[in-house]
Amino acid sequence: MSVDTTSREDATSVDAGSGSEPPSSNASGRAPRRRSRWRRWLRRALIALVVAVVLSGVALWLLQPQRSVPVLLDRGGKALGLVVSAAPEVEARLRDTPQLVVRDIVVREPDSKAVILRADRLLIALPWSTLRSRGDELTVERLELDAPTLDVVALQTWLAKRPPSEDTRIPTLTDGLRVRDGRIENDDWRIENVAVDLPALHAQRPVEARIRGRYVDAPTAIPFDLAVALTRPANGAGLAVVGPLTIERGDDWRLPATATFSGPLRIGRDDLRIDPVRFGMIARYEAGETTLPFTLGLFGPLHFDNATWALEPVTASLRSDGPIPNFDANGAFAIGRRLVLRLDGRMPAWPDAWPALPALLGASRSPLPFRLGYVGAPDLSETIALDLARDAMRFESRFRLDDVLAWVSSSTGSPIPPLDGRLRAPRLEISGAALEGVEIEIDDEAMK
pLDDT along the chain (448 residues), means of 10: 41 42 53 62 57 46 56 67 85 78 90 91 84 70 94 86 70 92 90 96 92 90 96 92 92 90 88 93 88 94 88 94 88 89 92 68 78 88 90 86 72 70 74 67 65
pTM of the model: 0.74
Query: Mapping DSSP to helix (H, G, I), strand (E, B) and coil, where does residue 162 land?
Result: coil
Of 129, 149, 148, 153, the C-alpha closest to 139 is 129
Distances in Å between the Cα of 111 and the Cα atoms of 83, 88, 108 are 9, 22, 9
Query: Mapping DSSP to helix (H, G, I), strand (E, B) and coil, where does residue 57 land?
Result: helix
Distance CA 384, CA 375 (A): 8
Give domain limits for the chain: 58-205
- Tell me which amino acid residue 334 is: A
Output the pLDDT for position 93.
Answer: 76
Of 80, 75, 105, 107, the C-alpha closest to 90 is 105
End-to-end CA distance of the chain: 166
Distance CA 41, CA 309 (A): 72
What is the 3-state composition of the chain as percent helix, strand, coil, each rounded to the nearest 5?
Answer: 25, 50, 30
Greatest C-alpha distance within the chain: 178
Distance CA 124, CA 116 (A): 20
Query: Mapping DSSP to helix (H, G, I), strand (E, B) and coil, where does residue 42 land?
Result: helix
Output the pLDDT for position 15.
Answer: 43
Distance CA 4, CA 6 (A): 5
Residues contacting 289, CB < 8 A, separation 6+: none
Kindly provide the residue ranges of all beta strands, DSSP E only, lying in 51-205, ordered along the sequence: 83-85, 90-93, 99-108, 115-125, 139-140, 142-146, 149-151, 172-173, 177-185, 190-198
- Tell me which amino acid residue 257 is: A
Of 215, 201, 322, the C-alpha closest to 259 is 215
Query: Is it true that the peptide bond before 110 is cis, omega within 30 degrees of 0?
Result: no
